[in-house]
Amino acid sequence: MEQRTVGRSGLRVSRIGLATHTWGMQTDADDAAGQLVAFAEAGGTLVDTSPAYAGGAAQRILADLLGDLVSRDELVLSGCAGVLPRTEPVQTTVPGPAPRTEIDASRRGLLRQLDRTLLELGTDYLDIWHVAAWDPGTPLDEIAATLEHAVRSGKVRYAGVRGFNPWQLASLAAIAPISVAHTPYSLLARHAESEFVPAAQHHGVGVIASAPLAGGILTGKYRDGVPADSRGADEATAAEIRHRLDERATRVVDALVTAADGLGTSPLAVALAWIRDRPGIASMIVGARDIGQLTGVMAAETLELPRAIAAALDDVSARTE
């Protein structure tokens, strides 16, 4: 798997990163082990985790696999702090489900969570450590100083952010050692192109695309309905997925299917190859429920999209409003 430099840093990561957010929920420990081994054997290095994934189960599963199956030194471990799963119900008057996480990007909160993550993973450092969400209750100067301290201490090699909008990223990157920024980016979510990616490039920050398959929509699985085992059939995520199954999504998926048929591959691989080749993108984080799905994801690594197909996908996925 090809490695790319992240922004203007010296960090290098695989063009496809392995997400672990399904581990401990849809993916059990045995399947997770198979995924990690297959990913590393294919040359993949970037592995993304969080203490908030599956209520902490994903990180614990990864901890059990490091060293025994794959050497810690072979991987670029990406973690975060600032967001934790809630342990108690939340009373809210806002319509819709109550938030399942809480945000704390204070110096105390970030460093306490960093130390717990390092202890749980059995490692002395994280290759990438992100502030996982914008915290309006913590001054930017405090967050910047915390990131600087974490890097200087050796516990963190490179600092990053997740869940920030363009002005938030630019504000923090101007005063903190930010090298990496995650943002949703796919054929159905191209808003990052207008301000987020330019802001990141201006500050020398490498962009890692999250949700590059738009919750599975770009695999084509919802083309003929909602499969019973899909996220669209899950009560917790059904509304979000179904809301995005509009006319534009139909056009994009139809174009992906046509392109995939012509190239002898899958819509999933075409969608990922399109994201991989976008300006400013260092890598993308992709999750898989099992080894079969991961094999399909990794097929995108060797797929080269003809310019005409990439241009056609640009056109069909462009928003007109």
Percent share of the chain, pLDDT over 90? 83
Q: What CA–CA distance (Å, rounded) separates 204 from 187?
A: 24
DSSP letter for each residue of 265-318: S-HHHHHHHHHHTSTTEEEEEE--SSHHHHHHHHGGGG----HHHHHHHHHHH-
Q: Do 253 and 220 contact (CB within 8 A), yes or no?
A: yes
The pLDDT of residue 147? 98
Per residue in 101-115, pLDDT (tens digit) is 689 999 999 999 999
- Nearest one of 272, 219, 237, 287 to 53, comparing CA atoms: 287
Ramachandran category for residue 264: left, alpha or beta (phi over 0 → left; psi -120 to 50 → alpha) = left
The pLDDT of residue 293? 93
The amino acid occupying position 184 is P
> How many whole angstroms from its chain centre is CA 185?
10
The pLDDT of residue 221? 87
Q: What CA–CA distance (Å, rounded) separates 211 from 87?
A: 26
pTM of structure: 0.89
Q: What CA–CA distance (Å, rounded) separates 284 from 19?
A: 9
Q: What CA–CA distance (Å, rounded) separates 151 from 222?
A: 43
Q: What CA–CA distance (Å, rounded) separates 60 from 82?
A: 18
For residue 104, give the 3-state DSSP assignment. Answer: coil
pLDDT confidence bin for 267, thresholds 50/70/90: very high
Let me know the angle formed at the C-alpha of 154 by 149 and 159, rounded to the nearest 5 degrees: 60
The pLDDT of residue 68? 86
Per residue in 137-195, pLDDT (tens digit) is 999 999 999 999 999 999 999 999 999 999 999 999 999 999 999 999 999 999 999 99
CATH 3.40.50.1700 fits 3-216+280-305, yes or no: no
